[in-house]
Structure 1
Amino acid sequence: MEQAQDMNELLLEQVQKLPPLPKTVRDLKLYVEQEGSHLQINKVAEIIQGDPIVTAKLLQLANSPFYSFSRQITTIQQAVNLLGAVNVKNMIVADSLKGEKADVSAYGLNTDKFLSNCSAEVQFVSDWLSHEDKQLSYFLIPCAMLLRFGMIIFSNFLIENKKDKDFLRALKEHNFQNIDMVENDFLGVDHISFLGFLFYRWGFDESLIETICFINTPHAAENKIKKSAYALAITNHIFSPYDGGSVFKINVALNLIKEAKTQGVDFNIDNFTSKLPDFARNNLKQALEI
């Protein structure tokens, strides 16, 4: 326990070393937080347009398959009008953080495959939810973009502190199950809880932070975020790094959809199953028979 606490303190120091958010992102965050419901779209667009790189990245994201707009988005004002200022802010913050160098070998994972899986996870959120609740899709895409970010930070940290081999050995001893327990043993925190802390530190809106915090217990979330917590929990099981899409994980996701209905959150099961990635759909029939 003492070792985990010591590592946790070092991990917090590591967070301090992460590159600061770009000035445009900081200015946009500050404006959105200060103005709240009184913010002006023109002002949001003006802040973004002052930075050609952020402008280009936002237009690229807005025109990506994640959003699937029927027409091309050519101006920042269009993007803000369609997505909402808060979602645009979250998108820009999430994209600015994705540049962190990734090496997830401490988890025994292939980094290229891991990153490809992360992109597929974001696409799934878009494909699945855009047919049921576009606003929820817009809300969760930045969160999905960073859902595995804590693993990247942890792996880089473990490698730097020469603890990666011990960590991987512990994961193997547990057959790559109970990952949260191993993370807590080594670092004093699991990667999802750590992500919630990072979201708070980086000024994501409160609803997104709470969604992360209730990913493992969506039934306990407040009504205002219950749907987003269930959606993220379901996605988390489908794209679990080691056994995502397995019969067991699909069954857990299906049970979460059923549980959500008892909580007043109704997802279309046919839409959900039709949007599953191939690796998960291959196990769907068996999962439905359980």
Structure 2
Amino acid sequence: MKTISEFFDAIEHLPTLPKVVQDVMQMLADEDVDINALAKVVQCDAVISAKVLQMANSSFYGATRTIKTIDDAIAILGTSRLKSLVVASGVMSAITHVDNLDLRQFWRQSLLAANISRALAIDLGKDAEVAYISGLLHNIGGLLMHMVMPETSIEVDALCRELSADKRQFIERQLLGLDHCQIGEALAIRWNFPSEISHVLRDYATPSHQHVTGLVVVVYLAVHITQGLTQGAAEVDILQNLNAEIIESLGLQSEGWLNRIEAYRELASATELFI
């Protein structure tokens, strides 16, 4: 398979986002969005509404009282974070089964990467919710690969289990002719996500100097840290495997990174609430 078009043509049923996700993203592109109208749109989808409330009431979001309605969720969490929760709920509900893939584990790792991306973006003064969505979707292309080329994708998984994202990308291209970054970008475009998200999905595995100040490097770091935490690596070992030049360019001390990675480890348990 040589082209993106051929790849997507081979998908019998391309996952589609629930209408509520598309509507919420469109509404929140308007800075003067009507909060009551926003709440009504979310409430139209009972499944996503329930999932958003479940997430919003978790200790992870630090709510000081029970959030019973979408109006409460907007008031307490804010519109940007609500968008992240709606997108996360919608994406996960759009893809509920893939043969020969542990989907719970897939979403577990994706959500951890999303939460680390958000935390890191906050530390670096970047858009936390765009970082969250980008982190959540970083390997969505790999999921689609399992749908189109399951046997070869299983082989790739076995070869790349402990390899970094850039090395996985290289092997995918060798065996499949495409890689998960290209496919993730193409899906984000088809789903009408903002270009800043599709560009992160395209570039996160191999950040260049031009990306050091952008969200590409945030997701790059989050994914590497997620991989280390998932494999049970110690904080110091995870740090040593990160790109030292990128770490230095961000102006954060090594000691600070060790503390961050330790804190990120605690996010792993929080992801279980969302699956």
TM-score (norm 2): 0.72
Which residue is 1:204 aligned to? 193
Are 1:220 and 2:220 an aligned pair?
Answer: no
Tell me the alpha carbon deviations over residues 249-273 of structure 1, each in whole angstroms, 9 at most, x when there is no partner: 53243623222229xx999435413
Among 131, 134, 137, the alignment partner of 1:143 is 134
Deviation at 1:194, TM superposition (A): 2.0
CA RMSD of aligned residues (A): 4.0
Q: Distance in 1 between matches of 2:56 and 2:207?
A: 31
Are 1:49 and 2:43 an aligned pair?
Answer: yes
Which residue is 1:91 aligned to? 85
Tell me the alpha carbon deviations over residues 125-152 of structure 1, each in whole angstroms, 9 at most, x when there is no partner: 46x4497479844443333333222222
Q: Are the structure 2 counterparts of residues 120 and 87 from structure 1 closer, same or farther at C-alpha, using a change threshold of 3 Å? A: closer
Larger RCO (alpha carbons 8 Å, 6+ apart): 2
Among 4, 15, 20, the alignment partner of 2:16 is 20
User: Does the aligned pair in 2 maintain the 1:199–1:209 contact within 8 Å?
Assistant: yes
User: Does the aligned pair in 1 maintain the 2:141–2:181 contact within 8 Å?
Assistant: yes
Which residue is 1:233 aligned to? 220
Q: Distance in 2 between matches of 1:104 and 1:268?
A: 39
Structure having the higher Rg: 1
Deviation at 1:13, TM superposition (A): 1.6
User: Does the aligned pair in 1 maintain the 2:117–2:135 contact within 8 Å?
Assistant: yes
Q: Are the structure 2 counterparts of residues 130 and 185 from structure 1 closer, same or farther at C-alpha, using a change threshold of 3 Å? A: closer
User: Percent of aligned pairs with the same residue?
Assistant: 21
Q: Are the structure 2 counterparts of residues 274 and 222 from structure 1 closer, same or farther at C-alpha, using a change threshold of 3 Å? A: closer
Which residue is 2:172 aligned to? 183
Which residue is 1:259 aligned to? 249
Deviation at 1:180, TM superposition (A): 0.8
Q: Distance in 1 between matches of 2:192 and 2:10?
A: 18
The secondary structure found in structure 1 opposite 2:23 is helix
Q: Distance in 1 between matches of 2:254 and 2:69?
A: 35
Q: Distance in 1 between matches of 2:162 and 2:47?
A: 44
Q: Are the structure 2 counterparts of residues 17 and 37 from structure 1 closer, same or farther at C-alpha, using a change threshold of 3 Å? A: same
Is there any run of 5+ residues in structure 2 with no aligned partner, and where? Answer: 267-275
Q: Distance in 2 between matches of 1:168 and 1:141?
A: 24
Query: Counterpart of 1:64 in structure 2: which amino acid?
Result: S
Deviation at 1:218, TM superposition (A): 5.8
Tell me the alpha carbon deviations over residues 152-193 of structure 1, each in whole angstroms, 9 at most, x when there is no partner: 21122112xx54566568x47x99572212212344332123
TM-score (norm 1): 0.69
Q: Distance in 2 between matches of 1:175 and 1:222?
A: 25
Q: Distance in 1 between matches of 2:23 and 2:122?
A: 33
Deviation at 1:213, TM superposition (A): 3.6
